[in-house]
Structure 1
C-alpha cells in the first residue's frame, strides 16, 4: 500500500495519513464524529430557538384570548335590556379591550382573567377593526370588527401550525440522518480499529507465538516469511519493526549456529565468530583466545589485526587472565584498570567475555573499544557488546563439541608418564613465548637436563622403577621453578626447562638449585632407597643466540660438556664450545 501511495501522487495524502500517530488518526475519527454531530445539534438548536422566539413574540395567541373575551362581553351586553346601566359598563370594558389591543398593555377581564399584549397588532385590517370598536363600542359593527380580528388570529395560528408541522417532519428526517451518521462513524471507527490496531497486533502476536513454539530456527530458511508486514509508520508500525528486528536477530543467530555446526574444527568456528564481530557488529579490534584447562594455558586463535599486541604472560598460566579465572565478564568500562595484564590502558578500553561451558572457561573474547567517557555512555556500544555475548553463547556448545572431538590430539601434547608438556607442544608454543620475551626485552633461560646413568636403573631395577624415577624427577623440576616457567620432557630421560623473564646470569643459579634437589632426593625401589644425579646444560636467549632453536642447541652442547666433565654438574654455554657459525 505504501508503495502504491508513493507511485501515484493523488494517493500521497493517504500515505501521509497512514504514517501519522494512532493518537492523531483515532483523534481525527472522533473529532469528525463530534464535529458532524455538533453541526446537527446546532441545527436543531437554531430551529427550536427560532420556534421559541416566534412563539414568544407571536401576538395571535393573546389576541385570540382578547377577541374571545370581547365576544363574551358583547354577548352579555346584548342580553341586557336597552336601558340597563350595566350595558354602559360593558361597553366601556369593550372599549378598554380595543385600546389594549391597539397599544398593548394588560387587560383585566372578569373572573380574574388577565390578558397581556406585548406587541400591538400590525395587520392593518385588524388595527382598523379595533379602531372602529374604540370609536363606536356599541351596535352591530362591534361584532363584525371582533370577527375581523378573530379571522386574522386564525390565519396566523394556521400558518404557525403549518410551519411547526414542517419542522416536525424535518426533525424526523434529521433523526434518521443522525442515526446514519452515527452508524457510519461507528463502522468507520470499527474498521479503522480492525485494520490499524487489531489485525497488526494479531500478526505481531502470531509471530511472537511462532517464535515461542518453534524457536528461532523456524525463520532460518526464509526470514522474510516471518517478517510482520505493516506499512504505516505509526506506533503499531514501530512495534512491528521492533518485532521484525527481533525476528531477524534470532534468524541470524540460527543461521550462524547452523553454519558453525558444519565447520570442521574449532579454529573455523573462531574465525566465523570473528567475521560476525567485524562485519555484523562493526567491532574492528578484538582477539579470540582458546583455553586449555588441562594445561592451564591459552592461545590466541584470531587477532583482528596482525600487529595487535596482546599480553603473552597468560598464555602459559591462563589463571592470570581475570576473565578465565572468575568466569565473569571483565570490563574497563565499568571498572577502569580492572585488569593489570592489559597492555593499553591509556589508549583504549577492553571488554573480555569468557566462553563458559559446564562451569569451565574454554575461551576468551577480548574486545578493544575507544577510550573515553563517550564510549561508556554510548547505548549502541552496549547493545553491540550484548549481541556479541549472545553469539558467543551460541558458539560455546559447538566449540565444546568440536574441542571434545579434538581431545585426543590435545592429549598428544602432554607426556602421559610424567604429565609434562612434550616436544610437540613446545614446537607449537615456542613462537608466542619468544615473541613475549622479545617484546618485554627480557631473558629466557634454557636448561637442558639429563639423568645420569639412567639406563642402569632400568637394567638393575626394572622399567617400573625407571618410570617412577622419571615421574619423581619431573615433580622435583616443576616444584623448584615458577608456575610461569615451562618444563618439557624433551625425550627419554632428557628434560628441557624454559625460565621466563629471568635476569641475565640467573639461569645458572636455578640450574644448580635443580641439580642439588635431584641429588638429595631419595627414590624408593623394592630393593631400598636409591639416589640419582642429573647433569644440566645452560644457555640464555637472546644473550647467547638470536634464534631460539639455536639457543636450545647451545644448551644441549653445554649438557654434553657436563657429561664429559664427569656428570652431576651444571655447565654454562660459552661460545668456544661451538665454534661453528652454523648450528
Structure 2
C-alpha cells in the first residue's frame, strides 16, 4: 500500500475514532449524569410521597388513589406513582389500590431501594422504588413495632424530553467534532503531504539506484529539513553516478574488448566488469604458473566448459612457418567426428577466414561467411541449425590461436552475453600463451637439428628415460635402426656441401614419412640417423628398415644437370631382446651398421651375438 494512501486512511480513521469516542463519551456522560440527577429527583419525590402519606394517615385519610393524584400534580415529569402496602399495613387498613409487581415484590422482599431505566415505545422512563419503615411518628396510626416495613413508593419519571434534548445537544456536539476533525484532517494532510511526497520521491530514487540507475533525482526548493534531505540525496546520487561511471570506464579501458554494452543496470555492469577482470587476472596468474602450454590449453578448456558452460567449441594453434593450423581440441562433436570445420584447415591455415583476415567471423551476420565451417553438415541429423563465432587471438603481431564457438539458434542470446567475458579471459591469457609457446619453441630448438628439423642427440639424452619407462610399463620392445648414407663424403667432394645437405634433408624426409607419429627419427651425427620404433616386433622393424633403404635407393638427386642415386646402410637392434640397457642396444645397432658397411653397404643387417667381437677384430 502506498504511503499516501496510508496517510489518508490514517487521517480518516483518526477522525472517525475521535468522533465515535467523543459521541460515546457524551452519551455515557449523559446517561451517568441523567441517572444521578434522576436518582436524586426520585429520592426527593419518594420522600415527598412518604411525608404526604404520613400526613394523610394522621388526618385519617386512607385513600391512596387521591393521594397519588395529589402527588402527581406537585412533581414535574412524574409519569406514575404507586403506593404499595405490606401485609402488616393491609391487616390494619385493608388492601391498597395496587398489587405489587415483580420489581416491587423484590423490593418488599429485600427491603432495599432500587432504580432502573426503562426503554418503551412511548419513551424513556426512570423508575425509583423505595420502601418505608415504621418510625415513632408512624406508631400513632399503625399498630406495629418501630422499624416494621409498612410498604413502598414506586415512582416513574418521564425522561423522554430530557433525552431528546440531550441527543440534540450531542448531535450538535458531534457535528462540531466532525467539522473540527475535517479541518484538523485537512491541516494534517497539508502538513504530511510534503513528507509523503519526499518519501515517495526518495523511494523511487532508491529503487532506481538499487537497479543500478543513479540518474534519479528528488525535487528541491523547500527551505526546511525536507529540502535538506532532497539536496543531500541528489548529491549522493551525483557522487554514485560519477563514481560507478568512472569505475566502469577505467575497468573497460583496461580490457581489449569492452565487456558491457553501455545499457542496463550500471551497478550490475560495474560489478560484472570488476568480477570479470578479477577472474581474468586470477586466471592469468594461474596459467602463468602452469608447467607448459599443454597445461594452459587444458585450463582454457576447463574455463570454457565449467566457467562459461560453452557446449561446442574448437581451439586451433596457428603455425605460420608451415601455414597450417593444429587442432588443440574440439568439444561437443557428434560421435565419430573430429572437427567442426573441413579438414583442409589443418593443412592450410588460409582456409580459416578468421586466421586469414585476422578479424572476428560471425555467421549470424552472414550465414555462409566461412565456407570451411561444417557444423550444419555434421549435425544435419539432429535437426538443429548452428552458428559459429571465431575469435583470432593476436600474438606477436600475428594470429597465435583461433577460438571457435558453435551455438544453436536458441543459445544465441546467451552466447552474446558471454562473449565479452570470454574475450577478456583470452586477452589476459594471450601473453601467457605467447610466452609459453616461445619457451617451447626455444626449448625445441635445442632438441632439434636446424637443417633437417629432426630431433638431435640431446633429445635422446633427455627422453630416453621416458622411452624405457613406457616400454617397461607396456611390456613392449623398442626397435632401433642406425642408418648411415653410403659414400656421403664422396657426394660432398663431388657436388659440394650444398648438394650434400640436400641429400641429408631428403633422407630425413624419407625416414620421417616411413614411421608412425609415436616413433622418432634422430639425427645422430653427420650422415648418421637413429630411428626409434616404439612397441616394435622384430619382423615389423626389419620391414620398416628395408622399406626405408629401398625408398632412398630409388630416389634420384639432381646436381649440375646430372642425376645420381644414394644408398643407405642400416643396423638393427631390439630393446630389450639384445640388451636391457638402451644405450647398449644403440651401440649394438651401430655395430650392426658397421657390419653392413663392411660387407657391401646398401643393406639391412640385424645385430647378432658375436658381431661386437668381429667389429673389434676388423678394427684391429
Return the TM-score normalized by structure 1. 0.50
Say which one has the larger Rg. Answer: 2
Return the TM-score normalized by structure 2. 0.47
Structure holding more helix per residue: 1
